[in-house]
Amino acid sequence: MAATAKVIVFVLLAGLAASANAAGEDWARVGEALGKAGTEQPGGVYRVGLPRTDIKATLDGVELKPGFALGGWLAFTKMGKDAMVMGDLVLAMDEVNPVMAKLLAGGIEVTALHNHLLRNQPFTMYMHVSGMGDPVKLATALHGGLALSKTPLAAAIDQLLGAKGTNNGGIYQFGIPRAEPVKDGGMVVPPAMGSANAINFQPTGGGNAAITGDFVLSAKEVAPVMKALRENGIEITALHNHMLGDEPRHFFMHFWANDDARKLATGLKAALSQIAIAKG
């Protein structure tokens, strides 16, 4: 291959790589703004699944799994520097009006509103949406609308806390083990028996959440964790022991707040940074 041809091929490949990297960075920002990460599909489509795992619905005695009939989604595709988004949101009846009002105010079009099923309890509506413009701005507007529903948007909380939570009946829960084993009476107390740092998020609407739980702390960790929580607007509701013969000695700090979910996750992360927690 001639030198000139090699240069042209190299330039083309470099351009494609740069374009792919830029798209990946954009989609990462979209996931962050939306509050849930998606996956890039063939054709450059970035798709985010929004299953309503919080809704326990039945139809003619059949339990409806989220992926079967309650699976909302959003899909983004690049259009030059801008993007187009389309999607289908699964909403409870009392969520329709506030979500619609917020989306329209944010420049998102509502292109259809209808049912997919009959007789399902609780009854759900399906809102089709569309928008064009800056992808991050679109994702931010969509997040604002979704925040007025109870659609689980947990990825941002996972990312902020650096841990993976689980949805338990609409409550997003974390159990984060300590680095060293906790013993009581000479026996190791497993995390599931109460030796893990417990954090619970309950959505309260408008992107807010109530949080409660307890941190499992060594004596030297009590003061810095208390300081981190209070500086982030999180109330300490109790500090006491749970065990009598634990080795080494641990204290349990309970907390409460109801505020912006991301803000609270940031505050909890500041507290966790003061605790010897297990890695990975």
pLDDT of 66 higher than 90: no
Q: What would the pLDDT profile of 91-112 be if each residue is shown by its tens digit? A: 999 999 999 999 999 999 999 9
Put residue 240 in one of left, alpha, beta given phi > 0 → left and psi -120 to 50 → alpha.
Answer: beta
The class (CATH top level) of 155-272 is alpha beta
**Would the pLDDT of 158 be above 70?**
yes
Question: Residue 155 pLDDT > 80, yes or no?
Answer: no
pTM metric for this prediction: 0.59
Residue ranges, comma separated, of all CATH 3.30.1460 domains in the chain are 155-272
30: its two tokens: 């979209």
Residue 233 has pLDDT above 70, yes or no: yes
pLDDT of residue 203: 78
CB 266, CB 234: distance < 8 Å: no
**Which amino acid type is present at position 17?**
A
What mean pLDDT is predicted for residues 165-190?
Answer: 86
> Cβ atoms within 10 A of the Cβ of 2, count?
7
> What mean pLDDT, rounded, does the chain reach?
88
* Location of structure tokens 């009846």: 93
